[in-house]
Amino acid sequence: MRPPRELRPPVVRRFRDAAPGGHMVWFVHPGALAPTVYRALAGALPEGDGLTVLDLGAVPEYAEAALTGGRAATTVAGLAERLLAAMEPQPGPYTLAGWSFGGVLAVAMADALPAGRRPARLVLLDSIAPTEEYKQPDDALEPGLLLGWFSMYLGAKRGRPVRLAPGALDGRSVDDGLPVVLDAAVASGALLPDTPLPGLRKLYDTYVDGLLRNNRLTAPHRPAPAPLPVVLVKAERSLIPGDDTLGWLPLAPHGLTVHLCPGDHYTMLDHPDAVDTIARLLRGA
């Protein structure tokens, strides 16, 4: 009799092996986009370097919260411990990186490690710091803001940017704003003309529940300062365009360097010019 098939994807996803003595990049991925989005980045790394993704979407208590109202039965510290347990012992220097909420986890993981096992480099991609400045109650996340972020996400997921006119979502409720997003997505080719609005609403609600999950995980989290210098890569169309450091300065006592890259919060992971920039910064070359 065959053993039951494991339906849940693995937490550890290896996209490129490191050569003997090569440098491994460990990337914390918070979901939203499929982990395969890192293939372009893995291919852009220097010869001999490897890339492994730690996929939070494969952690049940995290992933299922985006489908059940956005409340996760875990904590940032618990998730960091789960991912550290999944990592292989590193024989030499390595980079620990995280995109979006994955950056919060990467910093927590680096802090939890003993000094001799910490990464040589800590790189955050468009991650918002878990500081009081950015800890907001759920109702502070206004529909116009969320709909704009959803448009970015939808464009990246479909491979067609969804362009909205400046101010198109200002003051709109979800019910008023979602048809605007639908019209823009159809015009860009991201969605078919016969896409039903209720279907888009379901996708939007799941997307927002994922954001609320991360917001609620961050709220009680009391981050320790990063134990090594922080490299922050900010997208040109970041989720928070007005803050160059995304709040990380007080959590980076060993230094913070900020670099801009093309794309938005989602497309930065596979935009060709952004990938080249990020690959260079991951290695520090």
Q: Where are the domains of the chain?
A: 12-135+219-283, 138-212
Q: What is the pLDDT of residue 152?
A: 95
d(CA 117, CA 6): 31
DSSP string, 35-63: GGGGHHHHHHSPTT-EEEEEEGGGSHHHH
Sign of the Cα torsion 265, 52, 203, 76 reads: negative
Q: What is the pLDDT of residue 285?
A: 52
Return the C-alpha torsion angle 34, 237, 223, 62, nearest 10. Answer: -20
Q: What is the pLDDT of residue 214?
A: 93
Given a contact cutoff of 8 angstroms between Cβ atoms, the answer to whether 108 and 78 are in contact is: no
- Residue 159 pLDDT more than 50? yes
d(CA 244, CA 278): 17
State the architecture of 12-135+219-283 in CATH terms.
3-Layer(aba) Sandwich (3.40)
Helix (H, G, I), strand (E, B) or coil at 262: strand
d(CA 67, CA 213): 10
Helix (H, G, I), strand (E, B) or coil at 156: helix
Q: What is the pLDDT of residues 91-144, one digit of tens each?
A: 889 999 999 999 999 999 999 999 999 999 999 999 999 999 888 888 888 999
Look at the block and give the residue holding tokens 């969320």.
146
In the sheet that holds 50-55, the strands lie side by side as: 12-16, 50-55, 24-29, 94-99, 121-125, 230-237, 256-264
DSSP string, 65-134: GGGTTS--SS-HHHHHHHHHHHSPPPSS-EEEEEETHHHHHHHHHHHHS-GGGS-SEEEEESPPP-SGGG
Q: What is the pLDDT of residues 15-42, one digit of tens each?
A: 999 999 889 999 999 999 999 999 999 9
Query: Cα 94–28–125 angle (5° rounding)?
Result: 90
Mean pLDDT for 67-82 is 89
Q: What is the pLDDT of residue 141?
A: 85
Q: What is the pLDDT of residue 5?
A: 44
Residue 16 β-bridge partners: 51
Task: Give the chain's length.
Answer: 285
Q: What is the pLDDT of residue 12?
A: 96
Q: Which two tokens stand for residue 190?
A: 């991201």
